[in-house]
Structure 1
């Protein structure tokens, strides 16, 4: 499982967990294809995002204008949470790579409008946290 597929599957699992309150193992099982192996990166995204969810949500909430995190769509919220975890905690991946991958995922699931929304929230978060200067 390459990183792009890992991000896709992790976003799907996080979405399912958020929408249905399912546990991590059930969500993972439901998003993997038959005989698809979990990569370490995939597990890191899911477990890391869920472990740091409060810190991530605080960061996201601080960078929303006219929105609350609960008002966001489930897919957008899952993608933004996962991207924030990756940008804050996964040091071997440049922030701009994570940023671009999150926008592409959002577009794939929700179209151009979702891509613009994810872009706006992540851009503001990157600026606020000075992430663009820390790891590029």
Structure 2
């Protein structure tokens, strides 16, 4: 489900989107990505440079804006993610670290950046439903990370969602439980 539109069935549960726009491996085709999904991808690439190379955000931003396809990204969302995550990395790490089964230095830079994006969006992008944040970060980890890195990102962000989006998560889960009964 894209964050620009969210559909629901008559029961109030989100309907599953068709799998058109996916490659045979399940990855999204380039043409089917929303502007915000593209923004997340470019922010992920920039945050990776920041984590691995400790490159300056201004330098990363200049480089990223020249990449092919950047014009299709939601620039405002990209700016918020790149700068917001970099400026609050210590606070983001403080939330992430207790959910890890190893030290922060031991997780992949891609997974680390995906978690930053997820936590940042949970806290600061309240117009994006928590499930969309979770799904988008999982997709980023699938596309750019290691084989099972998306499972780790999922576990950490799923653990943080009830803390960072308590009302929304509780509402969604109680509605889901009611419809299951």
Q: Is the 8 A contact 2:122 2:164 kept in 1?
A: no
Residue in structure 2 matched with residue 21 of structure 1 by the alignment:
54
Residue in structure 2 matched with residue 121 of structure 1 by the alignment:
156
Runs (5+) with no aligned partner, structure 1: none
Moved >2 Å (runs of 4+) = 29-32, 34-38, 132-136
- Out of 77, 83, 96, the position equivalent to 1:41 is 77
Summarize deviations over 1:16-56 as a string: whole Å, max 9, x none.
01100100121122333258347111101111111221111
State the TM-score, normalizing by the size of structure 2.
0.68
Give the 5 Å matches for 1:32-111: 32=65, 33=67, 36-37=70-71, 39-64=75-100, 66-111=101-146
What is the RMSD computed on CA atoms of the aligned residues?
2.0
- Looking at structure 1, the residues matched to 154 and 135 of structure 2 have their Cα atoms a distance apart, in angstroms, of 8
State the TM-score, normalizing by the size of structure 1.
0.88
Which structure is richer in relative contact order (CA contacts within 8 A, separation 6 or more)? 1
Q: Which has the larger radius of gyration?
A: 2
Runs (5+) with no aligned partner, structure 2: 1-33, 173-181
Task: State the number of aligned residues.
Answer: 134
